[in-house]
Structure 1
Amino acid sequence: MEVVVELYAAARERAGTGELPLSLPMNADATAVDSDVDWQLAVRRPTVADLRSALVQRWPDMAALIASSRIAVNCEFVDDGRPLADGDRAALILPVSGG
């Protein structure tokens, strides 16, 4: 499954790009339906948490920045448990301070 990650500010500078196409795997979980024979296969779409993990794997030096950022999917802030869909656009929104 393909998503596009938009990077801004310090994340963009450190990553060297403002937009990153990213491939995330679908996850399959097999669970026993019957104790003897029957198994059920459930395919789980990747979530925003999986996206965060993939970004940290790619840029380990940005782990703290990624962890403290909000993620918007298709222009809406979402929780880490939200499933992603093929073609989603995810924006990494860094914390902002002012004075």
Structure 2
Amino acid sequence: MKNKIYVCFLELIGVGYKASSDIDGISLTLKLGFSHDITLKAFPSTRVYCLKPTLICCAGTNYLKVTSFAAKIKKYKPPEIYKGKGIRYRNEIIVYKQGKKNKL
């Protein structure tokens, strides 16, 4: 029986939000507008790749490890409900709220 490979895609939406990974896919560096860069190490059975500076791909043989690492990344900047900025899953749908109205 062959091992399945599970994949989870994350998108970074926002001005100046960037991600980069090393060649081996072990560590991920995030620039999310904080005063410092965030560096994360992937689990042993998980690899993380940046296909574009705004697209992260988490892959591995254990479904639970892949999704938990993706959730760990998303926890740093969850999507905002007014503008949609932040880190979100590729297939996630965000319901936006209406902003404040001016009464004249």
Same fold, TM-score > 0.5, yes or no: no
> Which of 1 and 2 has greater Rg?
1
